[in-house]
Structure 1
Amino acid sequence: MMHMTFYWGKSVTVLFDQWAVKTWQGYILTLIVLFVFSVVHEWLAVQRSLFLTTSSAGKTSAVPSAAVSDDTPEAPLLGGVVVQGSRIGINKSLESLLFGIKVGLGYLLMLAVMSYNGGVFLSIVAGLAVGYFFFRSGSAAPSFHDPCCSS
């Protein structure tokens, strides 16, 4: 039966029945793997932000929709902004891939925390904190301008 409260111990099943650990060596290895996955999760967040800032330059041009010919693709929800070239498709695909990997990894980490093992919880939180420290805090953080929240 699955635990529904936090517990401490080396016996834990993480995510899959095949990832059932009963020894101290396996438990420590599991905590290290989850710690690394957590750091990678924060690194992916930074990589996506960097990709967004580098790919946003020259991404679209603000051409009024009246000046658009019939064969030019148009983004109607963006108020007549015209999409230039097929590179936008590649950038959007890569951005979506990074987002999907980051979100998928985040959900897997959340499900691992739901094993309710105290060591697993602390390992994931520590990995996220270390990843944040190295990749997102202070001067290491990329300067990402969000046009929705500009003041």
Structure 2
Amino acid sequence: MENMNHDHMHGMNNQSSGGMMHRHRMMMHMTFFWGKNAEILFSGWPGTRTGMYVLALIVVFLLAFMVEWISHSQLIKPGSTRHVAAGLVQTLLHALRVGLAYLVMLAIMSFNGGVFLAAVAGHALGFLLFGSRVFKKSSAPVPGKTSDLPPMSC
């Protein structure tokens, strides 16, 4: 029993095939690497298929993009008299933003260079569209208010 737990802790998988035991060691990278053979967020995903790796990069990009959208959104109308409702919406948005940001962070911890670039690109495009002055309307905003949520801090 002790050997099985020891093997499990080191990422060893025993698979029986025709009465023979095969051991496969999962490689966990601790430095950045390039390539499509990575595990991102879930065990065995995206696997070794190029299409699934591209899908994983798109998912990471969209997660990072959504973090920026939520960070710079103004879904609560200024001067809202429903403080409890506004507070609940604000709390929900905060929880969603933090959850998505953690998913992006965990994806980056795969140490895959493509995943890192997809996350940075998602944050950059999201900020360009929602946080920068490039696409801002010329209407006068409420003084001191830039979004429904306070800025993220580490």
CA contact (8 A) 1:46 1:141 kept: no
Structure 1 distance, partners of 2:80, 2:94, is 21
Answering whether residue 49 of structure 2 is matched by residue 23 of structure 1, we say yes
Could you say what secondary structure the match of 1:140 adopts? coil
- Superposed CA RMSD in Å reads 1.9
Q: Which residue of 105, 120, 123 corresponds with 1:110?
A: 105
Could you say what secondary structure the match of 2:28 adopts? coil
Which amino acid counterpart does residue 122 of structure 1 have in structure 2?
L
- Length-normalised TM-score, structure 1: 0.69
Which amino acid counterpart does residue 52 of structure 2 have in structure 1?
G
CA 118–58 in structure 1, closer or farther in 2 if over 3 Å, else same: closer
Structure 1 distance, partners of 2:40, 2:102, is 13
Answering whether residue 125 of structure 2 is matched by residue 99 of structure 1, we say no
Larger % of helix: which? Answer: 1
CA contact (8 A) 1:12 1:21 kept: yes
Aligned to 1:130: 125
CA contact (8 A) 1:113 1:120 kept: yes
- If asked which structure has higher relative contact order (CA below 8 Å, sep 6+), I would say 1
The runs of at least 4 consecutive aligned structure 1 residues that moved more than 3 Å come to 139-144
Q: Report the CA distance between 1:20 and its aligned residue.
A: 3.6
- Length-normalised TM-score, structure 2: 0.67
CA 141–2 in structure 1, closer or farther in 2 if over 3 Å, else same: farther
Query: How many residues were matched structurally?
Result: 115
Could you say what secondary structure the match of 2:72 adopts? helix
Gapped regions of structure 1 (runs ≥ 5) = 60-86, 147-151
Q: Percent identity between the aligned chains? A: 40
Instruction: Describe how 1:68-79 pairs up with structure 2 within 5 A.
Output: none
